[in-house]
Structure 1
Amino acid sequence: MMDFWRETLGAPTKIVAPMVDASELPWRILSRRYGAQLCYTPMLHSSIFSKDPKYRNEALSSCDEDKPLIVQFCGNDPQVMLEAATLAQDHCVAIDINLGCPQAIAKRGHYGAFLQDEWPILHQMVSLLSSNLKVPVTCKVRRFENKQKTVEYAKMLEAAGCKMLTVHGRTREQRGPLTGLADWSYVKAVKDAVKIPVISNGNIQNMQDLIRCMEETGAQGVMIAEGNLYNPALFTGQNPPAWVPALEYLDLVDRYPCPLSYTRGHLFKLFHHILSIPCNNYLRIELGAANTMKQFREIVKKIQGLYEQYHNGVKLWEKTTHSGTSNLALPPWLCQPYVREDPEDHLKKISEKETGAQLRLAVGDKRLYEDAEGNLISRKKMKRLRRISRRPQKPDNLPERPLEKCLLCENPLGSKCSYKLCKKCCKDKCFLGNLDCEGHRILVRTRREMARAFAEKRGGNKKTK
Structure 2
Amino acid sequence: MPKLQGFEFWSCTLGGARHVVAPMVDQSELAWRLLSRRHGAQLCYTPMLHAQVFVRDANYRKENLYCEVCPEDRPLIVQFCANDPEVFVQAALLAQDHCDAIDLNLGCPQMIAKRGHYGAFLQEEWDLLQRMIVLAHERLSVPVTCKIRVFPEIDKTVRYAQMLERAGCQLLAVHGRTKEQKGPLPGPASWEHIRAVRKAVNIPVFANGNIQCLRDVEQCIQATGVQGVMSAEGNLHNPALFEGRSPAVWELAEEYLEIVRQHPCPLSYVRAHLFKLWHHPLQVHQHLREELAKVKSLEGVSAVSRELKLRCQAGVGTAGCHACAGREALSVTRGLVLCRRTCPGRWRERSPWEACLSFTGSASPTSAQAKYAKCDQCGNPKGNRCVFNLCRGCCKKRAFRETADCPGHGLLFKTKLEKSLAWQRDQSRLQEPQQPGLGDLGPGGPGSFSEVTGSALT
**TM-score (normalised: structure 1):** 0.71
Residue 21 of structure 2 corresponds to 16
Q: Give 3-state SS (helix, strand or coil) of 2:184's partner.
A: helix
Partner of 1:342: 412
After superposition, the Cα gap between the structure-2 partners of 1:47 and 1:326, relative to the gap in structure 1 and judged at 3 Å, is closer
Q: Is the 8 A contact 1:231 1:337 kept in 2?
A: no
Secondary structure, counterpart of 2:174 in structure 1 = strand
CA contact (8 A) 2:187 2:417 kept: no
**Aligned partners of 1:181, 1:306: CA distance in 2, in Å?**
35
Residue 119 (structure 2) aligns with: 112
Residue 50 to residue 302, structure 1, CA distance change in 2 (3 Å): same
Q: Within 5 Å, which residues of 2 pair with 1:189-268? A: 189-268=196-275
State the one-letter code of the partner of 2:411: E
Q: Distance in 2 between matches of 1:337 and 1:134?
A: 45
Aligned in 2, Cα 1:314/1:46: closer, same or farther, shift over 3 Å?
A: closer
Change (3 A) 1:312 1:342: closer
Does the C-alpha gap of structure 1 residues 315 and 35 become closer, same or farther in structure 2, counting only changes over 3 Å? farther
Structure-2 change in CA distance of 1:140 and 1:346 (3 Å): closer
After TM superposition, the structure 1 = structure 2 runs for residues 14-413 of structure 1, keeping only pairs within 5 Å, are 14-60=19-65, 61-277=68-284, 280-309=285-314, 310-311=332-333, 317-319=351-353, 327-331=376-380, 339=396, 341-344=411-414
What is the deviation of 1:213? Answer: 0.3
1:341, distance to aligned residue in structure 2 (A): 0.4
Tell me, yes or no, if the aligned pair for 2:353 and 2:374 is still in contact at 8 Å: no
Tell me by how many angstroms 1:16 deviates: 0.1
Residue of structure 1 in register with 2:329 after alignment: none
Identical amino acids, percent of aligned pairs: 52
Q: Which amino acid aligns with 1:319?
A: W
* 1:276 shift after superposition: 2.1
CA deviations 1:373-430 (Å, max 9, x no partner) are xxxxxxxxxxxxxxxxxxxxxxxxxxxxxxxxxxxxxxxxxxxxxxxxxxxxxxxxxx
Q: Which position in structure 1 is the counterpart of 2:10?
A: 5
Whole-angstrom distance in 2 between the partners of 1:239 and 1:338: 17
4+ runs deviating over 6 angstroms: 312-316, 323-326
Bigger shift: residues 139-148 or 56-65: 56-65
Residues 266/324 of structure 1: CA separation in 2 closer, same or farther (3 Å cut): closer
RMSD across aligned positions (CA) = 2.5
Cα pair 2:120 2:179 within 8 Å, conserved? yes
Distance 1:128 1:311 in 2: 58
Instruction: Tell whether the 8 Å contact from 2:271 to 2:292 is kept in structure 1 after alignment.
Output: yes
SS where residue 202 of structure 2 aligns?
coil
Shift of 1:275: 1.5
Q: Tell me the alpha carbon deviations over residues 101-121 of structure 1, each in whole angstroms, 9 at most, x when there is no partner.
A: 001100000000000000000
How many angstroms does 1:241 deviate by? 1.6
Deviation at 1:268, TM superposition (A): 0.6
Gaps of at least 5 residues in structure 2 are: 1-5, 315-331, 339-350, 356-371, 383-390, 397-409, 419-458
Larger RCO of the pair (alpha carbons < 8 Å, separation 6+): 1
2:311–2:334: 8 Å Cα contact kept in structure 1? no
- How many angstroms apart in 1 are the aligned matches of 2:162 and 2:42? 27
Amino acid at match of 1:268: F
Equivalent residues in 2 for 1:409-420, closer than 5 Å: none
Q: Is the 8 A contact 2:173 2:205 kept in 1?
A: yes
Query: Structure 1 42/332 Cα, relative in aligned 2: closer, same or farther at 3 Å?
Result: farther
In structure 1, runs of 5+ residues without a counterpart are 349-465
Distance (Å, rounded) in 2 between the aligned partners of 1:326 and 1:263: 28
Deviation at 1:329, TM superposition (A): 2.3
CA distance in 2, matches of 1:85, 1:347: 38
Q: Which residue identity is paired with 1:43?
A: M
Q: 1:315, CA displacement in angstroms?
A: 6.8
**Deviation string, structure 1 residues 270-314 (Cα, Å, up to 9, x no partner):** 11112123xx21111101001101111110110111111344999
How many Å apart are 1:233 and its aligned residue?
0.8
Q: Which amino acid aligns with 2:274?
A: L
